[in-house]
Structure 1
Amino acid sequence: MAAELVEMAWDPITRIVGSLGIYTKIDFKAKRVAECHSTSSIFRGYSIFMKGKDPRDAHFITSRICGICGDNHATCSCYAQNMAYGVKPPHLGEWIVNLGEAAEYMFDHNIFQENLVGVDYCERMVAETNPGVLELANRTQAPHAGDHGYRTIGDIMRSLNPFTGEFYREALQVSRMTREMFCLMEGRHVHPSTLYPGGVGTVATVQLMTDYLTRLMRYIEFMKKVVPMHDDLFDFFYEALPGYEEVGRRRVLLGCWGSFQDPEHCNFRYADMGAWGRRMFVTPGVVVDGKLLTTDLIQINLGIRILLGSSYYEDWTDREMFVTHDPLGNPVDPRHPWNQHTDPRPQKRDLDGKYSWVMSPRWYDGRDYLALDTGGGPLARLWVTALAGLVDIGYIRATGDSVRINLPKTALKGPVELEWKIPRWSNTLERNRARTYFQAYAAACALHFAEKALAEIRAGRTRTWEPFEVPDEGVGCGFTEAVRGALSHHMVIRDGKIANYHPYPPTPWNASPRDSFGTPGPYEDAVQGQPIFEENDREHFKGIDIMRTVRSFDPCLPCGVHMYLGGGRKLELLHSPTGSAGDGSS
């Protein structure tokens, strides 16, 4: 029997340095998404107008790529510049950068998880999409009620209601504290004013660290409530909706570029990048089908490929290569960011051809071009760090199959040990769960960084910046984790100016369209084929499971959702859909 597909689209669903549109074909009889395309409709062109600029301005310019995680871009750019200039910041300068980045993770994950993602699971939303689930939630006791104070799962959902929910309002207050923490370290949020290659301009004092720690301890107390509350909420959805693990599930293909440098080991030299990368406090790595393929940043760097396929650009492989070999003599591919040329070709959107301004970053493992995703950032970070087992700083220990986070005694609660365990699935709920645990992870790291910074200050080592000179010729690459995941900046210097510059934030990895091999991007792959559990019929369908899946990747901050039904146009599918239902005819 032919399946009846209905075209439905959400455009824009959220802001990703422009607009994100999700275009689907849905089989309402089978209650599944048969096909999905992810589109972005705005071209920015930073890689074009960076050319010819003074390299020392790179971090100030690239922080403006994003009004959400601009400091992540500034930090990554400074890492790339440090490499190109051959400069190593003083230890205290790096501890301050780490403290700023930790505060950014806490701020952004908190406001996104609690005030934006949380709305998808609040009482009002669940009442509109799954009233039967809400009825069950009101009868279900919360297993960790003693830790977070909410008696039932329904009470948790009510606390997430926007503007009226108790927890929703509390999270807004917490976000203010974490933003203050960032400003203490880097002067201004979200475009830092005291961050430079070679270190920072922040004046480091005991009082500065005390002001930071006072706010940090309040945040840690908050996390002792947040983690068990979200565990109860997400576990409930698995129990209430059998099969819900398939929502947003895709093959485990995770990439993490590492975060938080250890200044006792990091010298920013490319030749040593594999070694100092492994000493990061978030371990870099690639996980494929649950196995850790590498933790070597040099290998990670050389494996990056920028593919086109469904993107609005001309190919560049017959044009000049800026870097034929890396500083160690390894060959560099023409599709590597060091060699990319950006040649935009705007045209009408064609979902069967070219339909997005997002290119398709892939990671080449020697055989396949893998469509890695970041798991929204935290899922990849925790998964890689857990498997690698390299981090052990007292507050945090990676065990090989989990990450243990020790939070000290706070004003109202004693010490707490949290343990994030590698999940069975890479899916919507586990991306969201990891975001909660990584807030606690970032807070525990910040405690360590503050202790290290205080030790430097008390020892009289208060220098925070090291001078440098810009070379006439050079290359640099920076690797870190933006809030949403893997972030890299690649720079080529010629005649003392920027000859080529390409930043790759997590959104291109996650929101990429089908590449030149026909491989869908992670948003598309995660949504396509997923079941639908919403109780509404086609006429009142909100697409909540689709929205939850896309938002679980943290595609910048949602600004508005508009629904478009395509005039109710129906398509007849002449074969049983498997994976991508690409042979439909109207």
Structure 2
Amino acid sequence: MTATEDRATTGERKPPQIVDMAWDPITRIIGNLGIYTKIDFANREVTECRSTSSLFRGYSVFMKGKDPRDAGFITSRICGICGDNHTTCSDYAQQMAYGIKPPPLAEAVVNLGEAAEYMFDHTIFQDNMVFVDFCEAMVKATNPGVLARAEKTPAPRGGIHGYRTIADIMRAFNPFEGEVYKEALKVSRVTREMFCIMEGRHVHPSTLYPGGVGTMPEPTTFTDYLTRLLRVLDFVKQSVALNDDVFDFFYEALPGYEEVGRRRVQLGCWGAWQDSDVCDYRYETMSDWGRSMFVTPGVVVDGKLVTNDLVEINLGLRVLLGSSYYEDWADTEPFVTHDPLGNPVDMRHPWNQTTVPVPQKRDFDGNYSWVMSPRWYDRNTGEHLALDTGGGPLARLWSTALNGLVDTPYVKATGHSVRISLPKSEKLPETTLEWHIPRWSNTIERDRARSYFVAYSAAMALMFLERAMSRVRAGDTRIFTDFEVPDEAIGCGFHEAVRGVLSHHLVIRDKKIANYHPYPPTPWNASPRDSYGTPGPYEDAVQGQPVFEENGPDDFKGVDIMRTVRSFDPCLPCGVHMYLGGGSVLKKLHSPMFGAGHG
């Protein structure tokens, strides 16, 4: 019986044994995310957490004065992982500012490119990064008792994925050696090829522009995409079964594991994949065309849908400074006082933000991060909500399910679930998957949703292909709408980056960018404590969670904490450092399993 199980049984707490531990950096490419914790090893729980970023980018500063037509190409460089999401969102904002709508075939090309990006990125992250924390090698090092049980537990969905026991699945995810780990890399290559067919190159698109695309709309463009999509459908179906088997097992093997990474349900989704039959990019009609997206926008609080209105979502955006390294702009002249519908725009809205960096020493009792604190103001309750994205898929599926508006031959939202229909593939028959709204917003459910959203993306790609090929066969091959840059205008774009909400806000004056603010998902998830003392989602999810790892302080891997942070899909680890107390190095980890240290 673990200490956590013992406490749950007896209700007794032991005298605390607090140890300061930090993982800094936790990164994918450039080492700028740090997680600082206090862990009570006597009662096996995290008592405090701070999320910090050591990197200032400054895009909102140097975008000023640029030609707005360059915004998509510049902002794609914000990220070396999902740069296309930024290009797409920037083009959405520009199309609103220019008053234009791309031809339907161009919209289909963009949707196909974004569907391929979701499949690519979620697959490589889930199977080659997330599952490193659930693979045999890691579980053996952190929870040998769980692995022993996994060896004896049959895999319920073995008829789909082919593995006999849960431990066999865990072995299949071992880095560099496991069958699923290696197959996921192959699938990621194929889905990246699909992306490049539509958007030119990965990850900074060469064929996306405001007003349309430069992709040649030939029949082979779409058949080349289709043949690759059909090649990965078996893997997509099997991945859902593999994920469900492992995650269901963790709930059974570790009673109380649902509390790991659990936080109040506060999810934000800005919607994805425009419906060209409805969307005209006008702000005045944004409420309607937002609801027509093939991933439905929404703010979900305590399991209930607060709004699906993009105008209301837009007006509720607030950027709070809190514990970040910036000077306040509250007393400056606003760029936008009212939106195009006449609604007042708050001074802390992205349209009005002025970024003034103030470098300083990190102080966990004061300012400690370069990340600001985006919040959503709920005018009904007066709360500034620290929305999270659920790593992207959890919020997207939850919002879409509750809205019940998506109804296509391939994906249907029911009000309590999302049904995904995939055709017969090489080995597996026609399959209908159903994601149900879970009981919790926690680590396991963030991760589980990811494999379902890969299937969702594959299903929607089939529909977008049908629409595109129908237009080509009918001779409608228009892919661009011409435009003029106005002297003055404002625009906003709403999209879903791979790991969650993405917005771009643009102000044009004298045909130049006067103000520009992109807000991707990581600032929402990794934000520090805000002006009201509310912790950001990483901090909130980690702080208070139980520790199930069997190791003590001397050889502690922090796997439960890492699972929680990675469930949000942050920029992933190229290196993990561990420190004890006042910055003294406890251990440098060089195994590929745990990440390489950079002393």
TM-score of the aligned structures, taking structure 1 as reference length: 0.96
Q: Within the alignment, does 1:415 sit opposite 2:430 as a pair?
A: yes
Runs of 4+ with >2 A deviation = 1-4, 15-18, 566-569
SS state at 1:104 partner: helix
| Aligned equivalent of 1:49 | 62
- Give how far 1:558 is off: 2.3
Mapping 1:506-517, distance limit 5 Å = 506-517=521-532
**5 Å matches for 1:383-462?**
383-462=398-477
Count of aligned residue pairs for this structure pair: 569
Aligned amino acid, residue 383 of structure 2: D
Q: 3-state DSSP class of the match of 2:369?
A: coil
Alignment of 1:28-427 (within 5 A): 28-366=41-379, 367-427=382-442
**Pair 1:560-2:575 in alignment:** yes
CA distance in 2, matches of 1:416, 1:40: 43
Cα RMSD (Å): 1.0
SS in 1 for 2:217: coil
1:497 and 2:497 aligned: no
Q: Partners in 1 of 2:410 and 2:92 — Cα distance?
A: 26
Partner secondary structure for residue 27 of structure 2: strand
Task: Kindly provide the amino acid, as one letter, of the partner of residue 321 in structure 2.
Answer: L
The answer (yes or no) to whether the contact 2:324–2:371 under 8 Å persists in 1 is yes
Amino acid at match of 1:413: L
Other-structure match for 2:11: none
Inter-CA distance 221–480: structure 2 relative to 1 (3 Å threshold): same
> In structure 2, what is the Cα distance between the partners aligned to 1:190 and 1:162?
24
2:25 alignment partner, SS class: strand
SS, match of residue 316 in structure 1: coil
| Separation in structure 1 between the aligned mates of residue 234 and residue 148 of structure 2, nearest angstrom | 31
Unmatched tracts of structure 1, length 5 or more: 570-586
Question: TM-score w.r.t. structure 2 length?
Answer: 0.94
Moved more, 219-228 or 101-110: 219-228
Could you list the per-position Cα deviations for residues 74-112 of structure 1 after superposition, in whole angstroms to 9, with x for gaps in the alignment? 000000000000010000000000000000000000000
Mark the CA change 1:469 to 1:18 in structure 2 (over 3 Å): closer, same or farther: farther
Query: Bigger shift: 25-34 or 6-15?
Result: 6-15
How far did residue 3 of structure 1 move?
A: 2.3
Greater displacement, 14-23 / 414-423: 14-23
The aligned residue for residue 588 of structure 2 is: none
Q: 1:561 Cα deviation (Å)?
A: 1.2
Aligned-pair distance for 1:556?
2.2
Distance in 2 (alpha carbons) for counterparts of 1:259 and 1:79: 11
1:566 Cα shift? 2.4
- The separation in 2 between residues aligned to 1:567 and 1:299, in whole angstroms, is 45
Residue 18 (structure 1) shift: 5.4
- Which residue in 2 is equivalent to 1:475? 490
Do 1:51 and 1:501's aligned partners in 2 also have CA atoms closer than 8 Å? yes
Identical columns (%): 74
Q: Which amino acid aligns with 1:13?
A: I
Identify the residue that residue 554 of structure 2 maps to in structure 1.
539
Q: Deviations over 1:343-393 (max 9, x none)?
A: 000000000100000000000011100000000000000000000000011
The 8 Å contact of residues 7 and 568 in structure 1, kept in 2 or not, is answered as no
| CA distance in 1 between partners of 2:573 and 2:256 (Å) | 27
AA aligned opposite 1:487? L
Alpha-carbon distance in 1 for matches of 2:333, 2:233: 51
Measure the CA separation in 1 of the matches of 2:355 and 2:234: 47
Q: What is the CA-CA distance between 1:5 and the residue it aligns to?
A: 1.2
Q: Give distance in 2, aligned partners of 1:557 and 1:184.
A: 26
The offset of 1:557, in angstroms, is 2.8
- Unmatched segments (≥5 aa) in structure 2: 1-13, 585-599
